[in-house]
Chains A and B, each alone.
Chain A
Amino acid sequence: MSPNRRFLGEFEQMIAAAVLRLGDDAYGVTIIEVIEERTGRGVKSGAVSVTLDRMEKKGLVRSRLGDADDGRGGRPRRYVRLTADGLEAARESRDAMLSLWHDLDEAYGG
């Protein structure tokens, strides 16, 4: 494995997938909704926020603040989208996982 390949953590992968799925509407609350709906797993705002911070620091996502919103106590939304690096890392992570699981249907009884 070449050293410049970067794999996303499990939660980072979930967020990346949710961000891709949401397109222009990806921000904290919608990301949580997508993950909760699809995985049935409860997600905390703090966890999403800190993960986005980390991913942004690594250059995997870029975020911008939207307009202030009344339903949010006058606070803006932090919209995010994947950068080219982010997209690349997401794809590599996905491929790696799929290849690891490939042909294992019988082994795990699926």
Chain B
Amino acid sequence: MSPRSLPRLVVAATERLVRDPTARAGLLGDMEERYGRLHHAGPVRRTIWLTSELAAIAIHYIGEDVDHVREEEVGTMDTLRQDLVFTLRAMGKRPGFTLLVVSTLALGIGANAAIFSVVSGLLLEPLPFDEGQRLALVNEREESGFTASVSFPNYRDWRERARSFDRFAIILPSSRRFDTPDGPRIVEVGFVAGGFFETLGIEPEVGRYFTETESGPGAERVVVLGHGFWTEAFGADADVVGRSVELNGEPFAVVGVAPPELVLYEETSVFLPLGLVQARLPWDDRQTSVGAEVVARLAPGATFEAAQAELLTIAGAIERETGEVTGAGNVTPLRSWFVGETGRQSLLLMAAVGLLLLVACANVTNLLFVSSERRRGEMALRSALGASRWRVYRQLFTESLVVAVMGGLAGLGLAVVGLDALLSLVGDVLPVGFADRMVIDGGVLAFTAMLSLGTAILAGFLPAFRSARAELAERLRATATGATGPARARNVLVALEVAFSMVLLVGAGLLIATLAELQNVEKGFDGRNVLTLRIQTPPERRATRDTWIDFHRLVREEIGALPGVASVATSNHFPLSGSSWEMLYRDERTPAEDQGESVLLTMVTPSYFETYEVPILEGRGFTAADRWDAERVALVDETLARTRWPDESPLGKRITFEKVRGPDGEEVDLWRTVVGVVRHVRHYELTSPSRIEAYTPLAQSAAWGFTSYVSVRTTSELGGLVPRIRAIVGSLEPGATIYRVRTIESVIDQELGLHRAMRELLTVMAALTLLLGCVGIYSVVSHTTALRLKELGLRIALGGAPSRITRLVVRESLVPIATGIAFGAIAAMGLGRLLRSILYEVGPTDPAVLGSAAAILLCVATVSAWLPARRAGRVQPQEVLRAE
């Protein structure tokens, strides 16, 4: 069998449907041959092709069997089959009705299947690690509630003391230069210790991981390659073990390759033993952390809650023993760490799309009602001919089952297409590596089958039950028009559809309002037309403070001379960059025993405030005169100024957050004078203010030689700027590497990705629900109008103006619509709370949003009722009365 042969399911179904061996062999052969030619088409096209071909076989051959049977012996057919065939025939006779019902269900079921595959990929499928549900990520949480990376002494103490965890391992993300024939590039590396891979429980793809001796202090120069890097740089060569990789110009021996599933952050290209850099790390400093994260595996029987409690106790014990303040270990189960807010929002989408399906069900229920009423005569005839109530009931139920199954199949086709669209929309906000797990698989198929069955029961039960029960009464009241019972039920359906639409409209509205707020949020800086990039320099450029400062000055001068460039700045980080320098802040009033409060420290060139348009509120900015040998100065942000000196100006005050070597070699505080106050900048996230902030001139920082960011403001959007910058840096220093080139706007876009994806998805769902709701209202009103033609005709005959008749019908349908809006509003206020975590400056009961949603719904629903109601006004009394 070739890999491109027909799925077994299709073959089996065809074999069952086509009895004649010649026809069967020929047909299956034809299908194979044509399917084989589709092998260049994508899975979506192939699935659609298969579904439509299979549907054609089903439609033609199920019908064909009847002919066959009719010619021979009807009596031998079992009744189920009879029901089925009858239903298919009946449906074939009303293609419009069938299309409406099936497509309504397909929409509801398809949307559910697509969202479910996302939810399943995020929350249900096991993590690719051995017993992944026992893994946690541990970072530090300070008393203030901020989380931070882990200091090495804390990692060692947890490892030694915590009994709730079996294993602890640590990874320190960093980057290294990797030379390729196309020039150097920067790769993400992870320094690991403590049995990192063993803790995660994941087998190497090739070779092995590090041994104890390889990873300890004075470790050997060995590496484990990440899967992506191995594929890219080594063409996935299985004999890679023993080969050498040069990082920052130094050779490392490859011992193994990690599997593709091992993705914790951005994909790590290379893993190295932490021991290699241990001597250069603050190994014994509990107050400093440099970005390390800890992964831990729960001991048998332990829970995450117990482990969290234990780490809190350990932090308390450490503080008592050492007299140092320390953050406590903060346990996040690995799954939550991966999926976090995205996981929560995906559940919300599941609920939203569930409402969509309920509206679809309500529509189908209503359509089946209508159809069953049209067939009262047929049902009565059936019972008169001796069909039991059960038999009639079953016939009706078979109908809803058949439409549900067809809706399910069509929905599955929609889901395949929809999932692609969905993933292209939300791909950026999904955790790395998770999009690949979102496929239409067995789980999704089972879910869809369940939904279809549930839909059949939900949508079919009421009409079927009513028809079966009503048949006796119907025969007695043969001339009865418009029974009141179904009319009431239909009004309830309309109210429900309106209520569900209202809930989704409000949800979409809240996110639309949130994004509008977020786009206008006072972030403290202006990122439009700002491009950032990182420059890593070879060691000789970082040999002294002066060579480092000079190199960056040259880079700024040359870039600044390019046409269209307004200003250029160098800094240690930039707003929303995801990296940050936090230092302990003290001023002259801070008691000596107090360690101080954490402050966000940005080291900048004078042009930084111009580049990001951060307003200077008081005093001055930095100038070229603020050199290392001049008076040490600093700027503070308005928050720091307000909290520290509420009643006086901070200018001239002295503050410190760095240490330098004193004349005797001991560490002393580096004091600075505050010369200005600037606007608070939202550095960590757009949605909330950051900590207190301070700025120092880059030329005056205690730290230097680090890999820094260059930010370029242009007068307009400039194409072709990046190659010119590369050329400039390359000519100044061929060994320098430029990486992480981003515009601030793209950084903000990414920051708002989840909000935007939720807004778009909820808007689409609200629109679809609204559409289905309108179809529902339209069909209810047009049906009720049809049933009341006699009454309406009489009214017109008695002198009622047509326009008044139309208004009468519309007014009556407004009752369920208004009821639906009211109940929907109440439900939306309750459910809006679930959205709260991604709302910004908009409450879940925002009156403007509720009001707009109600207004939209009222308008659209009224129009949907008015269209069929116009017919009522056009009734010709003579015709109606003549019919009697």
Contacts and interface: CB of A to CB of B under 8 A. Distances in A.
Interface of A: 27-29, 32, 44-50, 52-54, 63, 65, 69, 71-73, 75-78
Contact of B34 (A29, A75, A77): A29
Please classify the interface of chain A as helix (H, G, I), strand (E, B), loop, or mixed, using the class held by over half of its residues.
Answer: helix
B595 interface: no
Contacts of B59: 46
B18 A78 contact: no
A63 B1 contact: no
A27 B30 contact: yes
Interface string B32-57: 11101000000000000000111011
A65 B22 contact: yes
Given A50-B61, A69-B29, 10 more contacts: A27-B30, A29-B33, A44-B52, A45-B57, A47-B56, A49-B60, A72-B29, A75-B28, A75-B29, A78-B27
A78 B36 contact: no
B32 A78 contact: no
A27 B26 contact: yes
A71 B27 contact: no
A44 B56 contact: yes
A29 B57 CA distance: 15
B557 interface: no
Contact of B32 (A27, A53, A54, A75): A75
A71 B35 CA distance: 10
Contacts, number: 93
Contact of B5 (A69, A73, A76): A73
Given A46-B27, A72-B29, A76-B26, A53 B20 contact: yes
Contacts of A72: 28-30, 32-33, 36
A27 B25 CA distance: 12
Interface residues of B, number: 29
A56 to B, nearest CB: 8
A34 B408 CA distance: 33
Contacts of A54: 64
A52 B30 CA distance: 13
Contacts of A46: 27, 53-54, 56-61
A45 B1 contact: no
A73 B20 contact: no
B722 interface: no
Most buried by A among B25, B33, B36, B54: B33
B57 A77 contact: no
Contact of B23 (A53, A69, A71, A77): A53
B22 A45 contact: no
Contacts of B255: none
Most buried by A among B1, B25, B54: B25
Contacts of B25: 65, 75-76, 78
Nearest to A75: B29
Contacts of B33: 29, 69, 71-72
Contact of A71 (B36, B52, B57): B36
Contacts of A50: 23, 57, 60-61, 64
Contacts of B58: 46
Contacts of A53: 20, 23, 64
5 contacts: A29-B33, A45-B57, A52-B26, A76-B26, A78-B27
B31 interface: yes
A90 B1 CA distance: 40
Contacts of B22: 63, 65, 78
Which 8 A-B pairs rank lowest in CB-CB distance, beginning with the nearest?
A: A78-B26, A28-B30, A75-B29, A46-B57, A44-B56, A46-B56, A50-B60, A72-B29
A52 B53 CA distance: 16
Contacts of B52: 44
Contacts of B60: 46-47, 49-50
Contacts of A65: 22, 25-26
Most buried by B among A47, A75, A76: A75
A51 to B, nearest CB: 8
B5 A45 contact: no
Interface in B49-81: 52-54, 56-61, 64
A53 B64 CA distance: 9
B6 interface: yes
A73 B28 contact: yes
Contacts of A63: 22, 26
Contact of A73 (B23, B29, B53, B54): B29
B6 A73 contact: yes
B29 A77 contact: yes
B33 to A, nearest CB: 5
Nearest to A51: B60
Contacts of A32: 30, 34
A27 B5 CA distance: 20
Contacts of A71: 32-33, 36
A45 B23 contact: no
A73 B29 CA distance: 7
B29 A28 contact: yes
A28 B52 CA distance: 17
A35 B27 CA distance: 17
A63 B29 CA distance: 14
A32 to B, nearest CB: 8
A49 B29 contact: no
A10 to B, nearest CB: 15
Nearest to B24: A49
Given A71-B33, A73-B1, A73-B6, A49 B26 contact: yes
Contacts of B57: 44-46, 49-50
A71 B26 CA distance: 13
B16 to A, nearest CB: 13
B61 A73 contact: no
A97 B802 CA distance: 49
A65 B25 CA distance: 8
B32 to A, nearest CB: 4
Most buried by B among A32, A45, A69, A73: A45
